[in-house]
């Protein structure tokens, strides 16, 4: 069979997405590959289809038990012979799985990197022809990546022990050029075909809010998505516990996930979320790669993550099915200090020497700076994300909080000059302040905490921007920092002069900034169902899916994704061939699920007639 025929039979699609066919072709030609593709772009198809066409076994190395279980469940539902070997299996199931592998009944075998050194796995590797080894979440191999795992360093040793070198394919959603080079070097990829399909997820809305009351903002977002699945990321375990309890008190169905819970509770809570018994998952980044749920409609970061890579990967858990979804970050200045503390006090990786550990810490602090710029910028958020990963992008996307808010371009050259002059005058009298305190001084705050400095009499720039609000002034200061006209530093993150500050004072360039013309709330709860869709039929199809999923003991999205149900709703097929034309319906799923769904459609049409 051809890759196209397998795509239709097992996955129900008539054509490949961007980059998939090229990667598959190079694998089938016997070449190593590195695929950098955004979450939801179909990375798994790139190695699963070759696995069905290559003669031997394909081993997929995956970082988390829950992730590989989701992948195997989806494959089996599609009729693909797949299995996993990990510590979650009891002895009898483990032994039966091994027997299936040795009999050649399994084409795709998932395993954690820790499993590679066990005797049973070594036996498989020595006695069963291995055609390909796929490394999923390959960025974990790089100490410069955001999620380095020392267990991934065992992969190369495992590959070198195989009787015959297999094809090696590596995939990740987030990798800078430095991390991509590390993947190629550490995994020993030989002249690999490398492809980056682009990082843009056009179905995702990106938003940043700076609310006075974060919890209130969170509950408003959740209630706007009532009945839909969402994830709330928090920086600490303590905050996860607090937010979960507070949401439950508000009558919101929420559960929790962090490394401090028992294995059993984490497993149960994740299942409750995946099987839609709970609508909201509150979690630390321990939940980052452990979820393959395709119908997550919103991801909220209650705190700012420590780098863009982590944020984009976690936010990317939303809208994997291609339907609209929201990624909202609730930013507060304290988030920066908390992240900095965590970076500076991290014990790090025991395998690294002190010099390398210090270099990584410095890099982490630099990446934290980029994350802070994202949260405080006044230009297109998608543009900033894509540019960070080295991808060209227009300056306006129309689908982020910045682009959707009513901004006007304003000349702030005079205000900028006054701000920099104030920092200079403060420096002359031996004082330094952070952003908010500096803004207070510029607008002429009478707060008692500034009285001890006697600024009214000593500082000529005290109150020089009294026509502005403190918030407006603080936003201008942050903008000047983002544009490198000022810097931040020292123990208290004070606003400091730099070389460009002198240029501003002497050359007086024109400086423009996007300024809010009219305050508008960040859009929340946008329609996840496209305009014009018959919502009554869509609800009936969702109910049919729910019953089938409950009967089979699988998550609803494993039966059909929301995108497939929406296409089914538009086409309303009542015959087999018509049902096969629905996006995401292959021969296997037609045979398994076609009858009940077409029955639902016929009944609806009859009642409507």
Closest C-alpha to 230, from 279, 291, 302: 279
Q: What is the pLDDT of residue 521?
A: 46
Q: Where are the beta strands (DSSP E) in 313-382?
A: 325-330
pTM to 2 decimal places: 0.67
- Of 42-56, 325-339, 525-539, minimum mean pLDDT range: 525-539
Q: Which helix (H) or strand (E) holds 381?
A: helix 381-388
Domain at 3-196: CATH code: 3.40.50.300
* Rounded CA separation 47/27 (Å): 8
Residue 398: burial class (beta carbons within 10 Å; 0-12, 13-18, 19+): exposed
Look at strands 229-233 and 204-209 and give their pairing: unpaired
Q: Which residues of 478-515 are buried (b: 16+ CB within 10 A; e: fewer)?
A: bbbbbeebbbbeeeebbbebbebbeebeeeeeebebbb
For the chain, the structural domain boundaries read 3-196, 204-405, 407-518, 535-608
Q: Are 344 and 206 in contact (CB under 8 A)?
A: no
Residue bearing tokens 């590195």 = 34
Residue bearing tokens 């009499």 = 457
Tens digit of each residue's pLDDT (9 = 90 or more) over 161-175: 899 999 999 998 877
* Rounded CA separation 192/135 (Å): 14
Q: Which helix (H) or strand (E) holds 188?
A: none
Residue 507 Cα to chain centre, angstroms: 42
Tens digit of each residue's pLDDT (9 = 90 or more) over 73-120: 888 888 889 999 877 788 898 889 989 988 889 999 999 888 888 888
Question: DSSP secondary-structure letter at 47?
Answer: H
**Right CATH for 535-608 from 1.10.150.80, 3.90.180.10, 2.60.15.10, 3.40.50.300:** 1.10.150.80
* Rounded CA separation 125/59 (Å): 9
Tens digit of each residue's pLDDT (9 = 90 or more) over 56-69: 899 999 877 767 87
Q: Are 561 and 584 in contact (CB under 8 A)?
A: yes
Tens digit of each residue's pLDDT (9 = 90 or more) over 213-263: 999 999 999 999 988 999 999 999 999 999 999 999 999 999 999 989 998
Q: Nearest 10 degrees: CA dihedral of 151, 155, 158, 164?
A: 170
Q: Where are the beta strands (DSSP E) in 468-507?
A: 487-489, 494-496
What CATH fold (topology level) applies to the domain 204-405? Answer: Rossmann fold (3.40.50)
Look at strands 325-330 and 296-301 and give their pairing: parallel
Beta bridge partners of 207: 328
Q: What are the tokens at 504?
A: 């501003």
Please, which pLDDT band fits residue 334 given cuts at 50, 70 and 90? confident
Closest C-alpha to 228, from 278, 301, 288: 278
* Rounded CA separation 258/466 (Å): 46
Q: What is the pLDDT of residue 175?
A: 75
Closest C-alpha to 390, from 202, 175, 171, 142: 175
Q: What are the tokens at 393?
A: 């992008």
Residue with more model confidence, 68 or 289: 68
User: Are 204-405 and 407-518 in the same CATH fold?
Assistant: no
The most distant pair of C-alpha atoms in the chain lies apart, rounded to whole Å, by 88
- Of 302-306, 336-340, 437-441, 512-516, minimum mean pLDDT range: 512-516
* Rounded CA separation 485/499 (Å): 8
Closest C-alpha to 111, from 144, 151, 65, 168: 65
Going by CATH, does the domain composed of 407-518 fall within 3.40.30.10? Answer: no
Question: DSSP secondary-structure letter at 362?
Answer: H
* Rounded CA separation 304/308 (Å): 10
Residue bearing tokens 């394919």 = 169
Please, which pLDDT band fits residue 433 given cuts at 50, 70 and 90? very high
């Amino acid at each position: 069979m051809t890759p196209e025929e397998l795509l239709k039979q097992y996955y129900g699609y008539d054509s490949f997405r961007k980059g998939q066919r090229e990667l598959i072709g190079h694998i089938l030609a016997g070449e190593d590959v590195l695929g950098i593709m955004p979450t939801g772009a179909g990375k798994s198809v790139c190695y699963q289809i070759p696995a069905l066409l290559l003669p031997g076994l394909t081993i997929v190395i995956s970082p988390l038990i829950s992730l590989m279980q989701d992948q195997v469940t989806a494959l089996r539902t599609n009729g693909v012979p797949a299995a996993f070997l990990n510590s979650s299996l009891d002895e009898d199931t483990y032994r039966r799985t091994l027997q299936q592998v040795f009999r050649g009944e399994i084409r795709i075998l998932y395993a954690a990197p820790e499993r590679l050194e066990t005797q049973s796995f070594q036996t498989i590797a020595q006695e069963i022809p291995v055609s390909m080894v796929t490394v999923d979440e390959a960025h974990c191999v790089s100490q410069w990546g955001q999620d380095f795992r020392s267990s991934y360093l065992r992969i190369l040793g495992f590959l070198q022990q195989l009787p015959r070198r297999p094809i090696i394919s590596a995939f990740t959603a987030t990798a800078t050029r430095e991390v991509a080079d590390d993947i190629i070097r550490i995994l020993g990829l030989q002249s690999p075909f490398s492809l980056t399909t682009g990082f843009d997820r056009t179905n995702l809305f990106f938003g940043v809010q700076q609310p006075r009351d974060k919890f209130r903002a969170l509950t408003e977002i959740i209630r706007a998505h009532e009945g839909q699945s969402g994830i709330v990321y928090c920086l600490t375990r303590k905050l996860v516990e607090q937010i979960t309890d507070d949401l439950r008190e508000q009558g919101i169905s929420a559960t929790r996930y962090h490394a401090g819970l028992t294995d059993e509770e984490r497993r149960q809570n994740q299942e409750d979320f995946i099987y839609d018994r709970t609508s909201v998952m509150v979690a630390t980044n321990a939940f980052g790669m452990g979820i393959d749920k395709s119908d997550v409609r919103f991801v909220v970061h209650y705190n700012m993550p420590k780098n863009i890579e982590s944020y984009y990967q976690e936010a990317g858990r939303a809208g994997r099915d291609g339907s609209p979804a929201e990624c909202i970050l609730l930013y507060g200045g304290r988030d920066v200090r908390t992240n900095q503390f965590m970076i500076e006090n991290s014990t790090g990786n025991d395998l690294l020497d002190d010099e390398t550990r210090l270099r990584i810490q410095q890099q982490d602090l630099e990446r934290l700076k980029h994350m802070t710029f994202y949260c405080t910028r006044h230009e297109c958020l998608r543009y900033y994300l894509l540019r960070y990963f080295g991808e060209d992008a227009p300056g306006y996307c129309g689908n982020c909080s910045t682009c959707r808010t009513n901004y006007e371009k304003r000349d702030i050259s005079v205000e900028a000059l006054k701000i920099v002059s104030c920092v200079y005058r403060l420096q002359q009298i031996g004082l330094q302040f952070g952003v908010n305190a500096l803004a207070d001084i510029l607008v002429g705050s009478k707060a008692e905490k500034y009285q001890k400095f006697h600024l009214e009499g000593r500082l000529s720039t005290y109150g020089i921007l009294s026509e502005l609000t403190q918030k407006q002034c603080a936003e201008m200061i942050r903008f000047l920092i983002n544009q490198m006209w000022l810097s931040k530093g020292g123990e208290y993150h004070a606003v400091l002069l730099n070389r460009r500050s002198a240029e501003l004072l002497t050359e007086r360039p024109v400086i423009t900034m996007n300024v809010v013309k009219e305050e508008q709330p960040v859009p929340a709860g946008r329609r996840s169902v496209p305009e014009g869709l018959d919502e009554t039929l869509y609800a009936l199809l969702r109910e049919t899916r729910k019953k089938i999923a409950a009967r089979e003991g699988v998550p609803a999205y494993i039966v059909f994704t929301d995108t497939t149900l929406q296409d089914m709703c538009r086409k309303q097929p009542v015959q087999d061939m018509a049902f096969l034309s629905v996006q995401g319906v292959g021969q296997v799923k037609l045979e398994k699920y076609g009858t009940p769904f077409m029955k639902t459609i016929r009944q609806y049409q009859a009642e409507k007639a």
